[in-house]
Amino acid sequence: MVVAIAPDQTVNLVRAMSPRPQAHLTEAVAARVHTVTEATDMAIDVAELRLVAATMSFSDRFIQPNFSARVESLDGTVRGLSSNPRRAAKVDLAGFVVNKFSPVIIQGEVNPFRYDLHTDLKLQFRNIDLPVFNPYSGRYAGFAIAKGKLTTELDYTIRDRQLEANHHVVLDQLEWGEATDSQDKVSLPIRLATSLLKDREGVIDLDLPITGSLDDPTFRVGPVVWQIVKNLVVKIVTAPFAFLGSLFEGAEDAQFVVFAPGDAALSPEQQTSLAALAKGLAERPQLRIEVPAGLVPELDAPALAQRRFDAALAVLAETPEDGTFALDALEPDDRIDLLRDLYKQQFDRRAKIPDEAEPPEDADRAARKALREAHEQAWLTAELLPRFTPTDTELETLAQARAQAIQEALLAGGELEPTRVFVTGARPLAAKDGQVSLELALE
């Protein structure tokens, strides 16, 4: 038996077994199909057809370079072969494809004369070396296949021209080789998609179900399966963290790590999401992650200055190391005194606070005092804060501390190899809702 795809993408077997001529076929082909259809009006009943060392060839002359494969040493039986559309033959065949180490099993039921009414076939292909499919991978994926194995289980059911098909595809140790210059290749990061799909053992396990009507002239199994694969690749490479989150709950929340201005501490929720991401990465050993050392200068510099300013006041106030200092918790007079002491320390002279604006005429003595204290505190604070402006080095240290905090959270569980976590150089980031958001990247 020879199955061939012509350069116009028509299939000889489909043409030959079609129950009626189809409008889109040429007149010559339609005539041949009509002849076959008339021939099948004769009753045909074969109790058992036995195959011994048979060969079934497949060739695709549409793809360039052409693809061909052979199922050889095909042994088994086809029982109950009949032209009666209400009867189906039982198929039980076994052979190998490419070589004897790649077995093929074909089992189920089919009426070859009216396959569109009743077909229930299961096909198993095991241990096929993936490089034989380079004509397809080079054209559509844009890369040759360097190595890998294919095992697939195909289940096709047709009832009254309605197809239900399940494709269970397992790719083991798939590795891409040289890129091709194909004009039909998908513009997607195929290597990243492969790394995301591979589990800890280097296996990609896919289920690709499809349904359709044989009466739909645009419905073809091959293109539909390829479209499903493309949609899957698009989905995971455009939202890789969401894909990992579908496998390891919480991992999707680790794509963006948010810090308070001037701070490098992770919240408990972020530590949990980073731990989930680490588990996902441990199960995808070909993935690497980039952790940026970043900051938002317009947020972080003032926040760091305030932090250093408060720390200097806490020292002057002799706050215990395990205590908490808050300037606003002091009495107004104590706040002014503490700020004056810090001013003298920083400028080596006493503060000469300018007079405040005239209070409202109706302000009483208490209100005037409160306004004066507020004016003095604001002036002293405005004079002192610039003294605590962080240097570029201190800002870079903050950026690195954030990256280190993320790195440590990812590696804390011991499941992820440190060599797969890359800290990138410090760079400015955009502010988001008054916070500093660092975006992690997978590669």
Determine the pLDDT at residue 186. Answer: 80
Determine the pLDDT at residue 393. Answer: 93
Nearest to 128 by CA among 169, 67, 167, 92: 169
Q: What integer is the mean pLDDT of 413-430?
A: 87
The phi, psi pair for 423, rounded to 5°, reads: -95, 125
What are the b/e assignments for 193-218, b being 16+ CB within 10 Å?
bbbbbbeeeeebeeebebebebeeee
CATH number assigned to the domain with residue range 246-443, chosen from the 4 options 3.20.20.70, 3.40.50.1820, 3.30.1330.60, 3.40.50.720: 3.30.1330.60
> pLDDT (tens digit, 9 = 90+) per residue, 143-157?
999 999 999 898 989
CA distances from 256 to 196, 266, 323, 349, 406 (A): 19, 12, 33, 47, 11
Rounded CA-CA distance 143/191 in Å is: 9
**Are 390 and 305 in contact, with CB atoms under 8 Å apart?**
yes
pLDDT at 67 over 80: no
Residue extent(s) of CATH 3.30.1330.60 domains in the chain: 246-443
**β-sheet bridge partners, residue 249:** none
pLDDT at 23 over 60: no
> pLDDT (tens digit, 9 = 90+) per residue, 296-327?
999 999 999 999 999 999 999 888 877 788 88
**Are 162 and 133 in contact, with CB atoms under 8 Å apart?**
no
pLDDT at 400 over 90: yes
**Are 440 and 257 in contact, with CB atoms under 8 Å apart?**
yes
Q: How far apart are the first and last CA of the chain?
A: 46
Which residues fall within 8 angstroms of residue 274, CB to CB, at 6 or more apart? Answer: 254, 257, 266, 406, 409, 410
CA distances from 120 to 57, 94, 208, 385, 395 (A): 22, 17, 17, 80, 68
**Are 204 and 190 in contact, with CB atoms under 8 Å apart?**
no
> pLDDT (tens digit, 9 = 90+) per residue, 330-382?
898 998 999 999 999 999 999 999 988 888 877 888 888 888 888 999 999 99
> pLDDT (tens digit, 9 = 90+) per residue, 184-230?
788 888 888 889 999 889 999 989 888 888 888 776 676 777 778 88
Total-model pTM: 0.71
Rounded (5°) CA angle 366-367-372: 100
| Lowest mean pLDDT across 2-11, 150-159, 229-238, 325-334 | 2-11
Which is higher by pLDDT, 204 or 63? 204
Q: Specify the length of the chain in residues.
A: 443
CA distances from 278 to 266, 284, 408, 421 (A): 16, 10, 11, 10
Of all residues in the chain, the percent with pLDDT exceeding 70 is: 87
pLDDT at 32 over 60: no
The mean predicted confidence, pLDDT, of the chain is 84
Determine the pLDDT at residue 66. Answer: 62
Determine the pLDDT at residue 256. Answer: 92
Most confident of 12-16, 133-137, 319-323, 375-379: 375-379
Task: Compute and round to an integer the Cα radius of gyration of the chain.
Answer: 36
Determine the pLDDT at residue 341. Answer: 92
Rounded CA-CA distance 275/245 in Å is: 12
Q: Binning pLDDT at 50, 70 and 90, where does residue 95 land?
A: very high
Cis-peptide, bond into residue 112, ω within 30° of zero: no
Rounded CA-CA distance 225/218 in Å is: 13
